[in-house]
């Protein structure tokens, strides 16, 4: 009888821990969904990349799939949606098995996944590399940080790993487009 009670107690602790993790991930996802809309701002790249630094970027965030996914689309402002000439990466955010995840559909032809965690103040969501599908001979997206300044201002920091594990950092300071 004692072993049954012990097993039941352990099971309840495990279930409550899983529920807490799931609710934390869901809360983080709900925070991300507040960014739905159109955003514009300059990008700064380190090490400097003259063809990219200072360019005005357009970001579109859209809640889809009955609220179960957030689509993030990025492109240089004023460029047409021509996949043969211009980058237009798409990132999907979602909660899966109690974890906040993103899958980045990269112009390098791969799909890295990252797991997200929210800061204690609820303003910063940081995504750490989990795995990647597809080849990495051209590099891959490796890390992302979203910082919500207010309802009309947020920053995005993306780290791309070049071949040879050399990081390239891009920071966008974005304002809600009117």
Domain coverage including residue 45: 2-176
**Each residue's pLDDT tens digit, 96-146:** 999 999 999 999 999 999 999 999 999 999 999 999 999 999 999 999 999
Q: What is the pLDDT at residue 168?
A: 96
Domain of 141, CATH number, reads 2.40.128.20
* Residue ranges in the chain whose pLDDT is less than 70: 1-22, 85-86
Residue from 90, 33, 39, 99 nearest 66 by CA = 33
How many structural domains does the chain have? 1
Q: What is the pLDDT at residue 125?
A: 97
3-state SS assignment for residue 122 = coil
pTM of the full structure: 0.84
**Is residue 50 classed exposed, middle or buried when 0-12, 13-18 and 19+ CB atoms within 10 A define those classes?**
exposed
Phi first, then psi: what are they for 104, rounded to 5°? -105, 115
């Amino acid at each position: 009888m004692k072993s049954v009670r012990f097993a039941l107690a352990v099971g309840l602790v495990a279930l409550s821990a899983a529920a807490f993790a799931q609710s934390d991930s869901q809360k983080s996802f709900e925070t991300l969904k507040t960014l739905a809309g159109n955003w514009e701002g300059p990008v700064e790249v380190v090490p400097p990349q003259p063809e990219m630094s200072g360019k005005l970027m357009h970001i579109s965030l859209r809640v889809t799939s009955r609220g179960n996914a957030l689509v993030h689309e990025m492109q240089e402002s004023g460029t047409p949606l021509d996949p043969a000439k211009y980058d237009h990466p798409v990132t999907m955010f979602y909660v899966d098995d109690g974890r906040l995840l993103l899958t980045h559909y990269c112009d390098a032809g791969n799909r890295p996944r990252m797991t997200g965690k929210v800061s204690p103040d609820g303003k910063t969501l940081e995504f750490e590399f989990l795995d990647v599908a597809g080849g990495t001979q051209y590099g891959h997206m490796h890390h992302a940080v979203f910082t919500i300044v207010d309802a009309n201002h947020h920053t995005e920091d993306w780290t791309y790993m070049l071949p040879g594990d050399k990081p390239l950092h891009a920071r966008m300071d974005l304002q809600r487009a009117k």
